[in-house]
Amino acid sequence: MRSLRASLTRACNFKCIFCHSEGMPKEEDGLLRIKHYEVISQAFKLLDVESIKFTGGEPLLRKDVVEVVSVFSEFPDVSMTTNGYLLNDKACNLLEAGLKRVNVSLHSLKPNRFAYITGTSPSSFERVLTGIKTAKECGLRVALNFVLLKGINDDEAIDIIEFAAKNGFNLHIIELHPVGKGAQAFSSLHNQLDAVKRYLEERSDYKRTRDLHNRPQYYINGIVVELVEPVGNPYFCAGCTRLRLSPEGLLYPCLNINDIHVNLRAIIDKSESFEEALENVIDAILYLNDLRKPYYMWNLDFEKKVKIRTKPPFRSWLPKRAKLQFRRSHTNTVKGRDEERLRNSPSRG
> Cα-flanking dihedrals φ and ψ of residue 251, to 5°?
-105, 125
**19 lines the binding site for ligand SAM (CB under 6 A):** yes
DSSP output for 234-290: HHHHHT--EEEE-TTSEEES-TT--S--EEHHHHHHH-SSHHHHHHHHHHHHHHHHT
Q: Which does 179 bind (CB under 5 to 8 A by kind): ligand SAM, ligand SF4, none?
A: ligand SAM
**105 lines the binding site for ligand SAM (CB under 6 A):** yes
> Cα-flanking dihedrals φ and ψ of residue 320, to 5°?
-75, 145
Q: Which does 21 bind (CB under 5 to 8 A by kind): ligand SF4, ligand SAM, none?
A: ligand SF4
Closest to ligand SAM by CB, 70 vs 82, is 82
C-alpha span between 254 and 121 (Å, rounded):
34
Range 46-75, binding ligand SAM (CB under 6 A):
55-56, 58
Q: Which does 55 bind (CB under 5 to 8 A by kind): ligand SAM, ligand SF4, none?
A: ligand SAM
**81 lines the binding site for ligand SAM (CB under 6 A):** yes
What Cα–Cα distance (Å) separates residue 118 from each residue in 21, 111, 186, 324?
11, 10, 16, 45
Smallest distance, Å, CB 140 to ligand SF4? 18
Closest to ligand SF4 by CB, 124 vs 271, is 124
Closest to ligand SF4 by CB, 83 vs 134, is 83
Closest CA to 7 of 54, 40, 50, 44: 54
Closest to ligand SF4 by CB, 49 vs 149, is 149
Going by the DSSP 8-state scheme, the letter that residue 95 receives in this structure is H
Binding site for ligand SF4 (CB under 6 A): 12, 14-16, 19, 21, 56-58, 83, 105, 118
C-alpha span between 221 and 133 (Å, rounded):
20
x/- letters, 109..148, toward ligand SAM (CB under 6 A): ------------------------------------x-x-
Closest to ligand SF4 by CB, 15 vs 190, is 15
C-alpha span between 226 and 189 (Å, rounded):
20
Of all residues in the chain, what percent are helix, strand and coil, respectively (each to 5)? 40, 15, 45
DSSP output for 205-242: SEEEE-SGGG-EEEEETTEEEEEE--TT-HHHHHT--E
Closest to ligand SAM by CB, 7 vs 42, is 7
Closest to ligand SF4 by CB, 127 vs 348, is 127
- Give the other-Cβ count within 10 Å of 313's Cβ: 23
The radius of gyration of the chain's CA atoms, rounded to the nearest angstrom, is 20
Q: Which does 15 bind (CB under 5 to 8 A by kind): ligand SF4, ligand SAM, none?
A: ligand SF4
x/- letters, 161..200, toward ligand SAM (CB under 6 A): -------------x-xx-xx-x------------------
Residues lying near ligand SAM in the complex (CB under 6 A)? 12, 18-19, 55-56, 58, 81-83, 105, 145, 147, 174, 176-177, 179-180, 182
